[in-house]
Chains A and B, each alone.
Chain A
Amino acid sequence: MIQIENLKFQYPRAEFMLRLPRLDIEAGKRVAIVGPSGCGKTTLLNLISGIALPLAGSVTVCGEEVSAMPDASRRNFRIANIGMVFQQFELVEYLDVLSNILLPFSINATLTRSPEVRSRAIEFAEAIGLEGKLTRRPAQLSQGEQQRVAICRALITEPGVVLADEPTGNLDPENKRRILDLIFQLAEKQNQTLIVVTHDMGILSGFDRVVDFQEMRFSNGAEESAGAVRASIGEQA
């Protein structure tokens, strides 16, 4: 489903470089990427979603080499195949809940906003406990509710891959588990591949696999020439 080979990435004018010799993620798996802040977890999600392009190597998602696509194709691929959930929810303040869920259909012409899509959005929202709150603005919702809206927004296009960047980072312990279970449940229902970035080691139960970036090394040029780069991928039982 997701194949990463000989990946090299570096932000402009930055010493930091992400190197990943190989990472394969099977379809329908739930994968957690853990590691300290600044180790490149979010960068990896950006590379998988095609927001960032590698300096070298390839990223293949759903059989398509994302890293080789032109801009517009990558964008269309992203909106059709990848759902994204963010730590800060990133809801649009001036839109109500339903419009936030349907946001992908408002910002990309390749998606058609049909009455069926609207019905699906309402069903989604009601299924995760947002019934009666569809006309509210994000500011009128609790943090847990805001993250539910963000999850609905990520899933409304029925993507093959869901990327969640610290989805529980802003939630209290009780909500953390609930939200994570909800993501698992919805992803499983649609047989979606789920990649969750987190530095919270307490939420790792339930994942099929954990990729620990703590064990990976990122180098500047000096370390690279010294051959200090290595990757370690742990597999959970």
Chain B
Amino acid sequence: MSGPLGLAWRYVLFHKAKSLILVLCIVLTTILPVAVKLLVWQFDQKIVARAASTPSIVGAKGSSLDLVLSALYFKQGVIEPVAYAEVERARGDGLASSIPLHCMFTAMDYPIVGTSLEYFDYRELEVGAGTRFVSLGDCVVGQKVAELLSVNVGDQIISDRDNVLDLAGQSPLKLNVVGVLEASRTPDDWAVFVDLKTAWVIQGLGHGHQDLNKEAPDSPVLIASESGRIIANRGVVSYIEITDENVDSFHFHGETDEFPVTAILVSARGFKEETILQGRYESSDSEVQFVRPEIVVRDLMTIVFQVNRFFNANAILIGGSTAMLLVLVVLLSLRLRKREMETMFRLGCSRGTIVWLQVGEMGIIFGVAMVFVMLGSTWVWLVSGDIVEGLLVNGR
């Protein structure tokens, strides 16, 4: 390569450190706002799409945003549960179908979602390997969970302790992986799905233990056994794994109607039915609210974009400052190279060619910087979906 561009290229290569610093300045001031823009755009697309695919949600009164985040992104502990009886009530005598969600626990830090089989159809989730959960203790893992934990059908994962310091608390439960979902590029990729009853077992509302009827009268675990009433001590073995052998020993204490669910996904038969249903909730004094996620999410995004506007202004200011510094560097460089330019002129180089030489140098630096910005932006674009999903589901 000869000519002014060739000279420019050689100048840039010769002054590697200076060129690299200039490239870095341009890349950093450009890629940060671009990356944030892409992330915000992905965030907007993902969260709005997820909300739009969820017509309405019923849950405890309080922050509608917390309720939406619990139902769409399986956030734990951000909202009070409601009684399971609300699932039936949400059906509104046939006005809608309803799917319960229980999002209070995690397995290896991934949310455990207790729900019904209808959820898979509702979200159009396909099982890529294995089957949907069929019995107590089964779980179906999202594609990302399977990938990141390296689990497959036939493996087991263990629910996390609610509080690792509470030794007397609920024991973790081993879950049998019976299916792995196909990638859906939604928060469902990042969750572990179990039957609602399994979720209640994890919560300690149901349990299984050794059959005391089969114990000998002198068994050390028995305190008393008279007229069909058995009293045992703390030595009774509670099962931390549900197997074919012990599944029948699992039982619940109390009324399941009063058992908790985090939220209820509601699909009304139509707009009219949805309006009627909403009216019922709004007019009642119950501790339950009916929300349309899309409206809640769009309100949230309005705030996000307002904040983003401040960030944009900040990026423009930083970009402007950097541009001025770059101009200063170029001007100082020109001053230092005055003799070189003068020599070229004396040898027969036109002023225009000298300008082209300068423009070529800056062009190469900008070009290289833009290549890095493009590569960086492409990478951000490729991973931003996962980043956003990960952030939304469990702050990963």
Once A107-B353, A108-B353 are accepted as A-B contacts, the answer to whether A94 and B14 lie under 8 Å apart by CB is yes
A interface size (C-beta, 8 A): 28
Asked if A86 contacts B348 (CB within 8 A), the reply is no
Asked if A84 contacts B6 (CB within 8 A), the reply is no
Asked if A103 contacts B347 (CB within 8 A), the reply is yes
User: Does A92 touch B at the CB level, under 8 Å?
Assistant: yes
Complex CA gap A79/B340 in Å reads 17
Contacts of A92 in B (CB 8 A): 7, 340, 343
Contacts of A102 in B (CB 8 A): 2
Asked if B10 contacts A95 (CB within 8 A), the reply is yes
B347 to chain A, nearest CB (A): 6
A43 to chain B, nearest CB (A): 13
Interface set, chain A 84-102, CB cutoff 8 A to B = 84, 86, 88, 90, 92-95, 99, 102
The residue on B at minimum CB distance from A88 is B339
Contacts of A78 in B (CB 8 A): 347-348
Interface set, chain B 1-41, CB cutoff 8 A to A = 2-4, 6-7, 10-11, 13-15
Once A86-B343, A90-B343, A92-B340 are accepted as A-B contacts, the answer to whether A107 and B10 lie under 8 Å apart by CB is no
Asked if A84 contacts B2 (CB within 8 A), the reply is no
Asked if A107 contacts B7 (CB within 8 A), the reply is yes
The residue on B at minimum CB distance from A83 is B347
Asked if B347 contacts A95 (CB within 8 A), the reply is no
Complex CA gap A51/B349 in Å reads 11
Contacts of A80 in B (CB 8 A): 348
Complex CA gap A104/B343 in Å reads 11
Once A104-B348, A106-B4 are accepted as A-B contacts, the answer to whether A99 and B343 lie under 8 Å apart by CB is no
Question: 6 extra interchain contacts, Cβ-Cβ under 8 A, other than A84-B347, A90-B340?
Answer: A86-B346, A88-B339, A106-B7, A107-B7, A107-B353, A113-B2
Contacts of B6 in A (CB 8 A): 106
Contacts of A72 in B (CB 8 A): 350
Complex CA gap A107/B344 in Å reads 7
Contacts of A113 in B (CB 8 A): 2
Asked if A75 contacts B15 (CB within 8 A), the reply is no
Asked if B2 contacts A106 (CB within 8 A), the reply is yes
Asked if B353 contacts A94 (CB within 8 A), the reply is no
Contacts of A90 in B (CB 8 A): 339-340, 343
Asked if A107 contacts B14 (CB within 8 A), the reply is no
Asked if A107 contacts B340 (CB within 8 A), the reply is no
User: Does A218 touch B at the CB level, under 8 Å?
Assistant: no
Complex CA gap A183/B7 in Å reads 28
Once A86-B343, A94-B14, A108-B353 are accepted as A-B contacts, the answer to whether A75 and B2 lie under 8 Å apart by CB is no
The residue on B at minimum CB distance from A137 is B14
Cβ-defined partner of B2 (8 Å) among A71, A86, A105 = A105
B278 to chain A, nearest CB (A): 73
Q: Pull 29 A–B residue pairs with CB atoms less than 8 Å apart, ordered by A.
A: A51-B345, A71-B350, A75-B348, A75-B350, A76-B348, A79-B347, A84-B346, A84-B347, A86-B346, A90-B343, A92-B343, A93-B14, A93-B340, A94-B11, A95-B7, A95-B10, A103-B347, A104-B347, A106-B2, A106-B6, A107-B7, A107-B347, A107-B348, A107-B353, A108-B348, A108-B349, A109-B3, A109-B353, A153-B347
The residue on A at minimum CB distance from B343 is A90
Residues of B within 8 A of A (CB): 2-4, 6-7, 10-11, 13-15, 339-340, 343-350, 353
User: Does A198 touch B at the CB level, under 8 Å?
Assistant: no
Query: What are the 7 A-B residue pairs with the smallest beta carbon separation, nearest first?
Result: A79-B348, A94-B14, A107-B349, A90-B343, A78-B348, A108-B348, A106-B2
Asked if A99 contacts B346 (CB within 8 A), the reply is no
B364 to chain A, nearest CB (A): 13
Contacts of B349 in A (CB 8 A): 75, 107-108
Contacts of A60 in B (CB 8 A): none
Contacts of B3 in A (CB 8 A): 106, 109
Contacts of B4 in A (CB 8 A): 106-107
A136 to chain B, nearest CB (A): 13
Asked if B347 contacts A99 (CB within 8 A), the reply is no
Contacts of A95 in B (CB 8 A): 7, 10
The residue on B at minimum CB distance from A106 is B2
User: Does A192 touch B at the CB level, under 8 Å?
Assistant: no
User: Does A49 touch B at the CB level, under 8 Å?
Assistant: yes
B301 to chain A, nearest CB (A): 51
B354 to chain A, nearest CB (A): 8
A52 to chain B, nearest CB (A): 11
Contacts of A108 in B (CB 8 A): 347-350, 353
Contacts of B340 in A (CB 8 A): 90, 92-93
A33 to chain B, nearest CB (A): 17
The residue on B at minimum CB distance from A71 is B350
B225 to chain A, nearest CB (A): 97
Interface set, chain A 141-164, CB cutoff 8 A to B = 153
Complex CA gap A147/B11 in Å reads 22
Contacts of A103 in B (CB 8 A): 344, 347
Complex CA gap A76/B10 in Å reads 24
Complex CA gap A86/B181 in Å reads 77
Interface set, chain A 28-83, CB cutoff 8 A to B = 49, 51, 71-72, 75-76, 78-80
